[in-house]
Structure 1
Amino acid sequence: MPKFGPLAGLRVVFSGIEIAGPFAGQMFAEWGAEVIWIENVAWADTIRVQPNYPQLSRRNLHALSLNIFKDEGREAFLKLMETTDIFIEASKGPAFARRGITDEVLWQHKPETGYRSPVRFWSSTAPRSTPIFRPITPSPRPSVVT
């Protein structure tokens, strides 16, 4: 990949499917960051069925298929975190934390790395663990889940 843009030298890793996580990664890549998408080997990105969308949303990205919730994949993932500046995960509720990958675990490998989940919208009647994603949502208030 060519080096360009004001974010050249920044390494961003993201794990997510559909739109929110990949869009965040795409924006970092457009500004020159090295972006690595960790593709879940157990659950394919369902947006692939849309014509041309995967090519548009995954441009300037590296891809890595890895099951980070199995021992071998988790070991490789944590090694990757040692050289990562920003990690973005877009999962249902606290999916990473439920499987033992918390901010504290990640900070043990590189304390200065930033970890974020994209903004998620919740309905007023749904529990916080219920994932809701729509391009336009009826929920009037966003909540940030980290």
Structure 2
Amino acid sequence: MRVVFSGIEIAGPFAGQMFAEWGAEVIWIENVAWADTIRVQPNYPQLSRRNLHALSLNIFKDEGREAFLKLMETTDIFIEASKGPAFARRGITDEVLWQHNPKLVIAHLSGFGQYGTEEYTNLPAITLSPKPLVVT
């Protein structure tokens, strides 16, 4: 089983880590425009990024997008963790992915959902940022 994920901080990488521990080949698409902020934490990157392959790729530029879509052809599960429908806004919709692999399972992880009020769906959900909004 091949799992590919794109995400920083905790949600996406943790999902990838779990699949890797269960024996899947896991490839992390690292964003070349935005560094993974977990890298500055002592020991955490070694724990949370273990058993993963990493690929730095700008999937929103033509060459990177082409390589990404080629990778999707042999991927079983794609996990993306971003602010709301960030991938869809940039042209990488579920339908585009399914054109390259009709059996692809797609998981979207976002703190405030994919659809709804943009005031919330566009918010980052890093560490404790959602807490003030749900504990009122």
Give 1:1-146 correspondences, 5 Å limit: 10-118=1-109, 120-121=111-112, 127-135=120-128, 137-140=131-134
Q: Comparing both structures, which one devotes a greater share of its residues to helix?
A: 2
> Are the equivalent residues in 1 in contact too, given 2:28–2:53 (CA < 8 A)?
yes
RMSD: 2.0
Consecutive unaligned residues in structure 2, runs of 5 or more: 114-118
TM-score by length of 2: 0.87
Deviations 1:10-37 (CA, angstroms, capped at 9, x unpaired): 1000000000000000000000000000
Question: Aligned partners of 2:5 and 2:100: how far apart in 1?
Answer: 16
Q: Secondary structure at the match of 1:14?
A: strand
> Are the equivalent residues in 2 in contact too, given 1:93–1:129 (CA < 8 A)?
yes
- Structure 1 stretches of 4+ with a deviation exceeding 2 A read 118-122, 126-141
Consecutive unaligned residues in structure 1, runs of 5 or more: 1-9, 142-146
Identity of aligned residues (%): 80
> Are the equivalent residues in 1 in contact too, given 2:28–2:54 (CA < 8 A)?
yes
> Are the equivalent residues in 2 in contact too, given 1:121–1:139 (CA < 8 A)?
no
Q: Name the structure, 1 or 2, with higher relative contact order (CA <8 Å, separation 6+).
A: 2
Specify the alignment match of 1:7 in structure 2.
none
Q: CA deviation at 1:140?
A: 4.5
Name the count of aligned residue pairs: 130
Q: CA deviation at 1:42?
A: 0.7
Partner AA of 1:23 in structure 2: F
